[in-house]
Amino acid sequence: MLARNIYTEEHLLFAQSVREFIAKNITPFNMQWEKDKMVSRESWLQFGESGFLCMQVDEAYGGLGIKDFRYNAILIEELGKAGLGGPAVGYPLHSDIVCPYIEHYGTEEVKQKWLPKMVSGEAIAAIAMTEPGAGSDLQGMRTSAVDKGDHYVINGSKTFITNGYLSDVCVVAAKTNPALGAKGISLFVLETGMKGYTKGKPFEKAGLHAQDTCELFFENVIVPKENLLGKEGEGFKYLMTELSQERLVVGLGAIAQAECALEVTIKYTKEREAFGKPISQLQNTRFKLAEMATETSVGRVYADRCLELHLDKKLDQAGASACKYYLTDLQCKVADECVQQHGGYGYMWEYQVARSWADARVQRIYAGTNEIMKELIARSILK
């Protein structure tokens, strides 16, 4: 349940409308999207038409101008509670992770061109940081952007890009001055269709089957100067600034998906019989459910506290890292135990817990591995 000390009656009404929209327009189609390896473009347009994409964007760019992040959090949570791995990742990444870079650092020309389309769902957005040889080590990226006077030329590649295959616009991190390390990283807006900008086929992933993830390739891509986000060489600083919200987004999705897996499992144990009675009456089952209920309740309180800090602009890098690592670890632990409680059926793809288990595993890897999260936390307490 949504915590009433954080959400007002207006928020709860919004949550209900989101829940109804998901039940009607997303859940019935998710199995097909898993086969297609991507959410349909029609769904993106429906999402936009309903006002659920990039809600924070100013009205001047076609948005609703809702600066209260609790509405964004509700959308993330409701997607997670519906057990929708692919959509639960793709939509929030577009709205809450990619959009802020364009909002906060884009030129007026770039904002006018892309924000209205991102709000409407006409344009799907991605962000490209990870490279084949540089995952969580952003300073080790090799994609280059060379200043040619009136434009940049970008060469390199990115991998594991969420929304990559369907994306129309992508925020790309590249080295403008390799000798400067982190201070040599800049961010650019690249558009699908630019000469030399190509995409690989969607990956065959262990989970998140409805989420299009692929490689991106840049071969002498000419990028106009106005497509530079902010200032040259400031990209790493921008990434560090915006990554706190990204990690909160992942954490909020993680606790919601853990709650979903537990809810499904409680229902299953009441219906499934063994030794002449529902397995919910067996002591081991009852103890395991009690443990998971307690742990998810603790996780929910922690998630809500991190959200409160973010609303007050007090969620720092260490706090966001703790939120991301703790809640995704918890999600994986709960999902694994829920599979165990289902027995052999828990390993069947038609059962929700099988998909929840497969979808959960990558949460500890992207947005910075949980090992990197612990390093960031350690730096803050040992400085």
Give DSSP secondary structure letters for 110-165. HHHHHHHHHHHTSS-EEEE--BTTBSS-GGG---EEEE-SSEEEEEEEEEEEETTT
Question: CA–CA separation, 73 vs 144, rounded Å?
Answer: 35
Q: Are 199 and 182 in contact (CB under 8 A)?
A: no
Tokens for 166, please give them: 């369907």
Nearest to 34, CA basis, from 214, 281, 279, 204: 204
Q: Are 194 and 222 in contact (CB under 8 A)?
A: yes
Bridge partners, residue 189, by sequence: 171
Question: CA–CA separation, 258 vs 292, rounded Å?
Answer: 9
Contact partners, residue 119, CB within 8 Å, separation at least 6: 48, 53, 54, 57, 61, 62, 63
Tell me whether residue 204 is one of the annotated catalytic residues: no
Give DSSP secondary structure letters for 19-84. HHHHHHHTGGGHHHHHHHTS--HHHHHHHHHTT-SSTTS-GGGTS-----HHHHHHHHHHHHHTT-
Nearest to 156, CA basis, from 205, 219, 102: 219
Residue 3 CB neighbour total at 10 angstroms = 13
Residue 273 CB neighbour total at 10 angstroms = 11
Choose the catalytic residue: 78, 232, 246, 337.
246
Catalytic residue numbers read 246
